[in-house]
Structure 1
Amino acid sequence: MAMRKAKVQEQVVQAVARSNPGDRLVATVHGISGPAPQLTMAFGFIMLFVVKYYFVTVTERAVVVHRAAKFTGRPGDVVFNLPREQAHGIASEVRHGRQWNSFRLLFPGAAKPTRINVAAPWANDLGRLLSALGAAAPASG
């Protein structure tokens, strides 16, 4: 799934504007839940049904998570829309890698956090997102 990052970010801004009119985007990342992406790639098409794609966005007033379409990369349904003051501690276990970064995101009502894998092109955005959530940003390197 090839995506132009700038176009995707524009689509996320539009999706956030529909769910949170008047709110301003701080940072957004495209992420994949599930096992390590290298494992996903090793098992190919079968893993497509195991992983879920998301856009995690922090705005001035909220944390919004949209599902992302598997084939087009467009933002879809809102998974949750949480006021920022209630979002403290939802991001944890930040890990940095050359090609993939990951962090754990606690979805409201979930018993345990979900691992979100973020590709290297989104690393700077991930740093801003984690900073806005009060989580430690991954080390650069």
Structure 2
Amino acid sequence: MTYVVWSDMFSVRMPYIDNQHKKLLEIANDFHAALKDNKGKEFFFEILNSLIHYTEEHFRNEEEIMEMAGYPAVDIESHKKNHEQLVRDIFGLHQGFMHSEEKTTHELEIFLNNWLIQHILLEDKKYEPYCENLTDYKPRK
């Protein structure tokens, strides 16, 4: 069963970023499936680690795009702070998971839902109009 299904409402009209958002939704769906199937603690750690590594890359790409697109500096800074808080939240959940698996799995499920859906729809969609000329974006190495 899929937890969150990709739809055009999530699209920021940039294939590279849309594909990253799809991957993040896939990670959330993997977590949801693991909960449903009562997977063990190691599997949850694997998903959390995947989420940590993938979000770091994704956030770098998003922030680079905002700068390239001429998104207002004050809004970029706010978005970066939002990303930093999200990373802290993920690390906090990772730490909490080591101490209280049941409580943290529930918190992570809520976090993934709120963050993925709300962050994409409310925050990421704000930079979409600035990126019309960056639809073929590829990250700088």
TM-score, normalised to structure 2's length? 0.25
**Larger gyration radius, structure 1 or structure 2:** 2
Higher relative contact order (CA 8 A, sep 6+): 2
**Which structure's residues are more often helix, by fraction?**
2
